[in-house]
Structure 1
Amino acid sequence: MHLSSLPASSASSHPLAPYGWDADWEAEFAPYAEQGLLPGRVVRVDRGQCDVVTAVGTVRADTEFVVPRDPMKVVCTGDWVAVDPGGSDPRYVRTLLPRRTAFVRSTSSKRSDGQVLATNIDHVVVCTSLAVELDLGRVERFLALAWESGAQPVVVLSKADLVPDPVTLAHLVRDVETASPGVPVLTVSALHGEGLGTLGALVGAGTTVLLGQSGAGKSTLANALVGEDVMDVQAARDVDGKGRHTTTTRNLLPLPGGGVLIDTPGLRGVGLFDAETGVGQVFAEIEGLAGECRFHDCAHDSEPGCAVMAAVENGRLPARRLDSYRKLVRENQWIVAKTDARVRAELRRDWKRKGAEGRAAMEAKRGRLR
């Protein structure tokens, strides 16, 4: 009997089980098993080809047959695929299995395309270095995309050994926790091994993707979790904590304690891509307060009876949080409006209304001055 046609009950003993293979993937793959294809997981993609781990080892396959018009459906690290059996030359990826989750950001193109960074993930680890000043707005941006992916976000504050004062470290953690409701926040020092046990236990089951800027310590963290130097590491600049892109491709690595890790290149830009739900989860306290506003379409600016502004004024809500929320909501609306005519029309109406209100306020002010 071929490995790809084993019954679902045997999925846990399948050679691909350490990479996340389970009974549900077995069922999804059944039609392709009948065609004699092999199941596998993409561990790396490079210039139209990919490395796929299968029950008979890692094979190199061409992605020509699954090059779609939709950039959201290109082969990506983390995908489960059906590949040609042994003896095929060249060897092709024939299809992708439906993705359970996907971390997507917008590209820098003016077309507002999405770019899939990792698929079929269970945890998104947002790695932020304590060697430089914390950028809470960037953390919130990463978390919005992480929640939108369908995976569980985790924030890791790396290089904790560079903050020897426990009081200062506690303040930094508290600031990040305020910006990350519902998200575990861990401090880690890969140099001293501190916090790695807790992180390893948290991500030891399923698939975890490591995300962050260059110099955030992702490759060092990946090496520590894997237990060997599988990723090259370079020193970050002292001035801004940034480093060169040591990791240039997304790589899927099995962890010794179970689970797999996807390491990624440092991200300079993290544009939102239709992440309304994710933004709402990152700013859950603001969304909750908004339900108490007098007007259902309150912009939380100068409207009477605004519960959000009241929370800022009485100190319950940091003004920085509201500013960040407004920025991400506007950005997400702009991204969605590029492809949704209804949203574009709503934004135009809103701009016209606010313009009319602004002109009316100016006229009233001039009348009082006369």
Structure 2
Amino acid sequence: MTIDLTALGWDAEWAAYAARYGEHRPGRVARVDRGVCTVLAAAGPVRASLGGAVLAAAARDLSALPCAGDWVLLARWPDGRTTVEVVLPRRAALIRRTAGKDASGQVLAANLDAAAVVEPVHPEPDVGRIERLLALAHESGARPLVVLTKADLAADPVALARQLAAVAPGVPVLPVSAERGVGLDPLRAEVAPGRTLGLLGPSGAGKSSLVNALAGAVMMPTQGIRRVDGKGRHTTTWRALVPIPGGGAVIDTPGVRAVGLLDGVAGLDRAFADIVGLAEGCRYADCGHDGEPACAVGEALLTGELSARRWESWRRLQREVAQEGGRREARLAAQRRGGWRSARRRAARPPSPGGF
């Protein structure tokens, strides 16, 4: 089995990076299971463990570990082993904060051209979740989309999409039904040859059904809607890159119960571009939007141009990002202190006999 890497996005820029590392074979990570990668290489899929340089980089920063969507360079050893020796620089990455207190990041998917926030219309969309995931998508460097799944269950999916466009300024909002094949054409353009679409959303949102509909075959397992509450069942438990026949790829991520934001101020500003635009109209550049005179945000809240719910969502996420930024700085400072202490201990160590 051979694989056309250009259909998966390999291009001259990636090849130029790879040329710096000699004769290693390139490939794209489809899946990672406990440190073992399934990599799509030109000669076919291979299973590869992590090489020493990759493990050393991950010891300093866990986000250096390969993930679905990464382009990597492989080495084949005389004993038959294949290892990932290099993770090539990422053009885009979906990164969420891990559950720990050290403000580190977990890469959900890499090298996306578009990042779709997938939200089911039934029983009803969670607007706050859409806002949070959009901030993550904006910060990734990929082009964000909002995909409203199970649109066949909505009375008027087009009107619902127009309504939700207010919380996704400048972002396409696409109602789709994978079961009926409705509304998929705009998404097919996102998985054209050489392009990669990432799907981000809660369990049961219909991400796996979307993958299957775009691929034209059952590539990911799916389950039906629960009768009790109308919600979809959790299906995917790993991140997987799925090649699409004819070129392009989709990365399906596990359902996320909670997504913590890192210090992604730029992504948050783009997700709330309407509030940022209002704030620029305030009389004072340092306006706190808390009763100051000529506050454009306060006026918008009074007139109803800006909803109190969206304003509170913005403030909550701003506090979270500021807090995580502080934690990250504290972690980096501790690492620097640890490095200085190690350097001082090495400098104070007496030389060994013979001067070595």
Partner residue, 2:97: 106
SS of the aligned residue for 1:216 comes to coil
Q: CA deviation at 1:233?
A: 0.6
Contact 2:122 2:231 in 1 (8 A): no
Question: C-alpha distance in 2, partners of 1:94/1:286?
Answer: 45
Q: CA deviation at 1:178?
A: 0.5
Question: C-alpha distance in 2, partners of 1:110/1:120?
Answer: 27
Partner residue, 2:245: 256
Partner residue, 1:63: 50
Contact 2:132 2:259 in 1 (8 A): yes
Q: CA deviation at 1:162?
A: 0.6
Q: CA deviation at 1:292?
A: 1.8
Q: CA deviation at 1:183?
A: 0.7
Residue 214 of structure 1 aligns to which amino acid in structure 2?
S
Q: How does 1:176-215 map to 2 (within 5 A)?
A: 176-205=164-193, 206-215=195-204
Note closer, same or farther for the CA distance 1:71–1:207 as it changes in structure 2 (3 Å cut): same
1:122-175 deviations in Å (ceiling 9; x for gaps):
100111101122111110110101010000011110001111x33xx3442122
Residue 289 of structure 2 aligns to which amino acid in structure 1?
H
**What percent of counterpart residues are identical?**
50
Question: C-alpha distance in 1, partners of 2:46/2:102?
Answer: 35
**Structure 1 residue 276 corresponds to structure 2 residue 249:** no
| Pairing partner for 1:225 from 196, 214, 222 | 214
**Structure 1 residue 267 corresponds to structure 2 residue 256:** yes
SS of the aligned residue for 2:89 comes to coil
Partner residue, 1:245: 234
Question: C-alpha distance in 2, partners of 1:42/1:202?
Answer: 19
Q: CA deviation at 1:315?
A: 2.1
Question: C-alpha distance in 1, partners of 2:236/2:142?
Answer: 23
Note closer, same or farther for the CA distance 1:91–1:188 as it changes in structure 2 (3 Å cut): same
Q: CA deviation at 1:322?
A: 1.1
**Structure 1 residue 127 corresponds to structure 2 residue 118:** yes
| Pairing partner for 1:154 from 128, 145, 148 | 145
1:291-314 deviations in Å (ceiling 9; x for gaps):
221222222222222110101111
Q: CA deviation at 1:269?
A: 0.7
Residue 128 of structure 2 aligns to which amino acid in structure 1?
G
Residue 150 of structure 1 aligns to which amino acid in structure 2?
G
Q: How does 1:307-346 map to 2 (within 5 A)?
A: 307-340=296-329
Contact 1:213 1:242 in 2 (8 A): no
Q: CA deviation at 1:215?
A: 0.7
Partner residue, 1:97: 88
Contact 1:216 1:241 in 2 (8 A): no
Residue 176 of structure 1 aligns to which amino acid in structure 2?
L
- Normalising by structure 1, report the TM-score: 0.84
Deviating beyond 6 angstroms after TM superposition, the runs of 4 or more aligned structure 1 residues are none
Contact 2:238 2:254 in 1 (8 A): yes
Partner residue, 1:285: 274
SS of the aligned residue for 1:117 comes to strand
SS of the aligned residue for 2:270 comes to helix
- Normalising by structure 2, report the TM-score: 0.87
Unaligned runs of 5+ in 1: 1-13, 342-370
Contact 2:263 2:321 in 1 (8 A): yes
Q: CA deviation at 1:176?
A: 1.3
Residue 44 of structure 2 aligns to which amino acid in structure 1?
G
Residue 47 of structure 2 aligns to which amino acid in structure 1?
R
| Pairing partner for 1:78 from 69, 80, 85 | 69
Partner residue, 1:19: 8
Partner residue, 1:45: 32
Question: C-alpha distance in 1, partners of 2:67/2:248?
Answer: 18
SS of the aligned residue for 1:17 comes to helix
Unaligned runs of 5+ in 2: 331-356
More moved, 303-312 vs 141-150: 303-312
SS of the aligned residue for 2:76 comes to coil
Contact 1:215 1:241 in 2 (8 A): no
More moved, 84-93 vs 228-237: 84-93
SS of the aligned residue for 1:340 comes to helix
Q: CA deviation at 1:236?
A: 3.0
SS of the aligned residue for 2:257 comes to coil
| RMSD between aligned residues | 1.9
SS of the aligned residue for 1:95 comes to strand
Residue 136 of structure 1 aligns to which amino acid in structure 2?
V
Report the number of matched residues: 325
Question: C-alpha distance in 2, partners of 1:88/1:55?
Answer: 21
Question: C-alpha distance in 1, partners of 2:70/2:230?
Answer: 32
1:330-364 deviations in Å (ceiling 9; x for gaps):
111111011236xxxxxxxxxxxxxxxxxxxxxxx
Question: C-alpha distance in 2, partners of 1:240/1:63?
Answer: 43
SS of the aligned residue for 1:339 comes to helix
SS of the aligned residue for 1:338 comes to helix
Residue 173 of structure 1 aligns to which amino acid in structure 2?
A
Partner residue, 1:10: none
Note closer, same or farther for the CA distance 1:200–1:150 as it changes in structure 2 (3 Å cut): same
